[in-house]
Chains A and B, each alone.
With several copies, the nearest count.
Chain A
């Protein structure tokens, strides 16, 4: 399915490890390798066995690794997550899936009160190496509850770590990274980007970080944010599907002579505060972009972290361009809801035009 391309590394050499593939395939491949590497890893959820998941992320894994390793559960999210706790206590590394973001809500009690706290409650004797995959965010014109952004909720919960990849390459490496951690990680997959292709460097580590776009950056720095585009005038901070949109915006802004830096936050908890400080310390202006509603969204945290570290040099208050404080709307209105190019450009303009007093 994937096609090997002859990509050029920074040094101009051909790298056979670099393959061009969709995020869907990159995730599938990562899971395949996780199952092969760790006999204690198990994948389960609704329809992720025989069907291979409604997004086919687990396609083929059951037939390859067996029904003990990849299985369908009854239709109950609290059951899926509660069961994960017990499996983790028994020494397994559960990789449960909830089918869509909005269906994580029935499992919130198990996530917040159990998964996130068992290590603490047990004084470190019962770690919870659970990687919860959540197809997340909007943009696919789906029914109600299929386009939610829960990162602010997850990031607020002590005991959870939260990550979201924006590219196939990151999807592959971050998932493999998350699934080998001893702590619970919520893995938010930008579902609108599943089918977009990009280079993935399958080699495991120590690659040139700057060459990420050619797929040649892998294990180098998986724990922090990533500068996707360098710029001097303003930093756009985003994650998930909004990263690609911010890159488009940056290209458009460049036509007007505005040099935008784009930072892919990747880790939504813990947040890479240093990367924020470094980038905005340089550009002195920032706009945070996310799909979730504005109020009490993660954009507030990001903005406050930036303000805290860059207050003295900041040229304007950090702007937020986000979803509105309304329920995620039906397909016909979703383009009105999700930050679009125009709205992000307006946000940039507000920051650039800001004058004190």
Chain B
């Protein structure tokens, strides 16, 4: 029928990562691990009402996010890409504010940070990435910006993902479909979700090259993402990356995985911890020593404290924003509703 499409070998600048970069990756992963673990604790302490941990997905998130060129690319996250956000240098108080129930999309500026608002609809933004990417083609700049859209194994079942892959392939849009296959969609395991067993395998049906990568190997993830970006940038169309990883924690702080998987299954499915694994590798390769890891941990703790402090002082947004941010051009109806609200609720 069709032959397996291959990635164009355009990544000429695909030099091996420097020691400095490897250490930077570790520092990021350590920061993400610590902040993520802390956020779960914040929820238990009543600082935030809920959180969706990405424990175990640090390599997949940091590795891919590290490949983004913030001067031209754009990232479309779900609700679980804290590690990508951190790797891209987002304002983490702005990011975390969504979990404080301050503002749905987060309080960071998506245009400046090149990171779209947090998306709660599963597969909701996959098509946005295709549209944005096609916009780069229309704009006609050489070495164009690339859209990277994140989604999960569960999300892959949504019709929008199919429409997005087909549109992207027909239009040769520069978009990287980055799937974190973490084994679960809440309580449903991948084998009852993804017929055929692999999201990457779907790509061939659209003539899209795909890479299935060890999502717990941060370097492998980074390199796969970098080559996908190079392929897109050169005008060769979309790429699908499936990073095989594992959701080590609950779906969210409201979830109880004990109801659908045993601790044994968890241990088996999760495999080796991506952070620990990277640490061992850096040690073995002489890239970093214990002092470096301790310093990374110290920085992570410092950072977490700063973010927590920022979150704790974050007050609710003024109610007037409910009305003023709906449109660019306000309507009379909304203006009169805002007035009524002010009179009745703020007694002004």
Contacts and interface: CB of A to CB of B under 8 A. Distances in A.
Check A-B contact in the complex, CB < 8 A.
yes
B313 interface: no
Interface stretch (A3-11, A113-121, A163-171, A188-196): A113-121
A51 B187 contact: yes
A17 interface: no
Interface stretch (A143-151, A204-212, A236-244): A143-151
Contacts of A182: 328-329
B314 to A, nearest CB: 9
A76 B158 CA distance: 5
Given A68-B138, A79-B163, A143 B124 contact: no
A198 interface: no
Nearest to B323: A326
Contacts of B170: 73-74
A75 B122 contact: yes
A47 B260 CA distance: 10
A75 B185 contact: yes
B159 interface: yes
Q: Chain B CB within 10 Å — which of A82, A142, A342 has the most?
A: A82
Given A74-B157, A143-B120, A47 B186 contact: yes
B135 A87 contact: yes
A246 B336 CA distance: 24
Contacts of A127: 328
A24 to B, nearest CB: 14
Interface string B89-105: 00000000010111111
Q: Chain B CB within 10 Å — which of A126, A161, A273, A340 has the most?
A: A126
Interface in A25-51: 42, 46-47, 49-51
Given A143-B50, A326-B334, A346-B344, A85 B120 contact: no
Contacts of A273: 332-333
Contacts of A342: 344-345
A183 to B, nearest CB: 5
Interface residues of A, number: 80
Contact of B134 (A52, A74, A83): A83
Contacts of A336: 319, 322, 341, 345
A75 B317 CA distance: 33
Contact of B104 (A124, A330, A337): A330
A126 B111 contact: yes
Contacts of A113: 121, 124
Interface string A334-350: 00110010110010000
A181 interface: yes
A332 B121 contact: no
B133 A183 contact: no
Interface string B55-94: 0000000000000000000100001000000000000000
Nearest to A90: B135
A197 B233 CA distance: 49
B322 A86 contact: no
A329 interface: yes
A295 B316 contact: no
Interface in A233-283: 269-271, 273-274
B127 A119 contact: no
B192 interface: yes
A68 B154 CA distance: 21
B221 to A, nearest CB: 24
B280 interface: no
A355 interface: no
Contacts of A144: 104-105, 120-121
B25 interface: no
A86 B128 contact: yes
Nearest to B49: A141
Nearest to B343: A346
A75 B155 contact: yes
B249 interface: no
Contacts of A312: none
Contact of B101 (A158, A330, A340): A330
A83 B164 CA distance: 8
A51 B255 CA distance: 10
Q: List 4 tightest A-B contacts by C-beta distance, closest first.
A: A86-B131, A82-B127, A331-B101, A90-B135
Given A74-B154, A89-B128, A333-B317, 13 more contacts: A46-B188, A51-B187, A75-B188, A76-B157, A86-B128, A86-B131, A106-B160, A181-B329, A330-B98, A331-B101, A332-B316, A333-B322, A337-B322
Interface of B: 49-50, 74, 79, 98, 100-105, 107, 109-111, 116-117, 120-122, 124-136, 138-139, 147, 154-155, 157-160, 163-164, 166-167, 170, 185-188, 192-195, 254-255, 259-260, 316-317, 319, 321-323, 325-329, 331-334, 337, 341, 344-345
